[in-house]
Structure 1
Amino acid sequence: MGPAYWYTPTFTSRPGLKMATNGQSFYELYRRSSIGMALTDTLDDLISDRRIEPQLAMKILANFDRSITEVLADKVKARLTFKGHLDTYRFCDEVWTFLIKDVTFKMENSSQTVQADKVKIVSCNSKRPGET
């Protein structure tokens, strides 16, 4: 089996970890996913065609941040285990980042495994700031 590619957002000065605006407190992490990028591209096209205002696009993105966070927390029940060699780890601004080498992933209730040379995992607190 060839190298596996596992989606992990790439951050430059942590833009994907900003909190949503307008008083909301959800990470913008999923905007870098394929569905988030598709939404962003579509909103950009609508703004360019003057079919919506940029302020509406920002509200839509904030709603996306909230919705995808809630749906993934509520609906996804699959478990994944992985083994690998921890290369680097960091904890900054309440966010853990792990760089793992020679990783093997295994889904619960499946004998199939997926291998990757290197994986970056970004982990954020699931609770909003101020929640206990």
Structure 2
Amino acid sequence: RRSTIGMCLTDTLDDMVSSGGLSPELAIQVLVQFDKSMTSALEHQVKSKVTVKGHLHTYRFCDNVWTFILKDATFKNEEITETIGKVKIVA
């Protein structure tokens, strides 16, 4: 849900619930289905692999969520290599 499309969906559902066009229960059902669909799509349709290498600047584990901040990170797949100055990974 923290992806761009997930955040847009959440904002739209919030607007629809606020205006009375959608019940809160139905909005929750839509979000649950979104989570299931995204999980399934990532498991079955994404075949690409990426290697990430960089200098670990900061890491933390809070509320069951890992956050890593990498400096000079290199992302590499079969076709290209890309270097980014600073990357935040939330997992």
Q: TM-score, normalised by structure 1?
A: 0.59
Counterpart among 73, 80, 84 of residue 116 in structure 1: 84
Which structure's relative contact order is higher, taking Cα pairs within 8 Å and 6+ residues apart? 1
CA shift, 1:85, in A, is 0.7
The AA in structure 1 aligned to 2:10 is T
Higher fraction of strand: 2
The AA in structure 1 aligned to 2:42 is L
Q: 1:49 to 1:90 in 2, by over 3 A?
A: closer
Task: Confirm whether residue 54 of structure 1 aligns to residue 10 of structure 2.
Answer: no
Distance 1:65 1:106 in 2: 27
CA shift, 1:82, in A, is 2.1
Distance 1:85 1:103 in 2: 7
CA shift, 1:81, in A, is 1.3
Alignment match, 1:106: 76
> 5+ unaligned residues in a row in structure 1: which ranges?
1-30, 124-132
> 5+ unaligned residues in a row in structure 2: which ranges?
none
In angstroms, what is the RMSD of aligned CA positions? 1.9
The AA in structure 2 aligned to 1:59 is Q
Counterpart among 55, 62, 65 of residue 35 in structure 2: 65
CA shift, 1:61, in A, is 0.9
Q: Alignment length, in residue pairs?
A: 91
CA shift, 1:107, in A, is 2.0
